[in-house]
Structure 1
Amino acid sequence: MAREKNFPPQITSGSPAGLMKMKIKFLEGLVGSSTRNNEPGSSGSSNSGTINGATFAVRVGTIDGVITHHLRAETRRDLVAWARAIVQGCHTAALSLREYTVRCLWQGRPCKLVVNTEEGFMLYAAGARGINGASPGSPPAPLWKRSFDKLRMSADDGSRLLWLDFIDDENEIELDLESCPKPIVFVLHNFLSAKIHRLGLSA
């Protein structure tokens, strides 16, 4: 079964976009991504201020898969301005949203995976926890909980399965989302990127 490997955002210089909800892949080679299934790479770059008709692609994760929008910038300055605006917008949205919940199956059991910008990953039995933590009665205990700093790697099959590999766990966690995992994957990248940016760790 083919998997697309989704590494947490890397702290690298010269890469304004990094990894985020809307994975930006500049065809001029400014930004790249790592996958288990090889994707077409970039084909060169320009050192000049003007790059006639430079194009870049914005990849958006949806329940129907990844949708790619191709855009064009007239100059390198325009390209950087677009990158900055999209990244800042994604970071602002992530910190405003704070939490994302998705239904899934874990070990054949109906559950809810909650990704929170502060608390990390939490898995609850279906119906045990409402939106944004609201629940009748006392707060339910999660089936398991992991912090962001424990995430070694994530991967998905592009169809319905998501794998989370945490430090100190003997085996990776497999979740069946029953639909395309790309929305939660891109949200996860955006949350991680926003946290790194907020901590001032981006170069």
Structure 2
Amino acid sequence: MTKLLVASRNAKKLGELRRILEAEGIEGVEVVGLADVEEFPEAPETAPDFEGNAVAKARDAVAATGLPTIADDSGIAVDALNGMPGVLSARWSGKHGDDEANLDLVLAQLSDTPDERMGAAFVCAAALVLPDGTETVVRGEWRGSLVRERRGANGFGYDPIFVPEGGTRTSAELSPAEKDADSHRGRALRSLLPDLRKLAG
């Protein structure tokens, strides 16, 4: 059984990868998170793009644990805000991970934007770094538009105000399986499947 570290403490991210591996019939890989390994100093995310942050996180984790590692960096790029919050999505309001404050700020910034210009995309860069130094970096995008009222209790971050293209429900109103099938992270992780199959042997 090969241990695969996901450089995250977010249980929902771990669950997502486990479900994708299971759906693809990939066995022989045990997904563990940062809570399952000895703590190590994590460098701040300072790269100007998602890819740079994902690779840096994965490299740090491999160096500290010796385990093959997937790390991702994701966020929302709002058309009317010139692609922001982007890499600053989790700390847009100034405090890291305050979903409610981040949502309030984005909605306030878009208060004068007409509905037809509320386009946005969730973006995820995922990096798989192996102990032998092999690095694979992929990107997934999920287009849609923003709504002004939060809807739904699933998901996290900007999910309650994001309606995927062609849909009527927000990302937070989708079931985990529906979200996995389409989401930016699901798309990025599925791009890594050929490498994960090799890892599983």
In the superposition, the TM-score normalised over structure 1's length comes to 0.24
Query: Which structure has the highest strand share of the two?
Result: 1
Higher relative contact order (CA 8 A, sep 6+): 1
Query: Which structure has the highest helix share of the two?
Result: 2
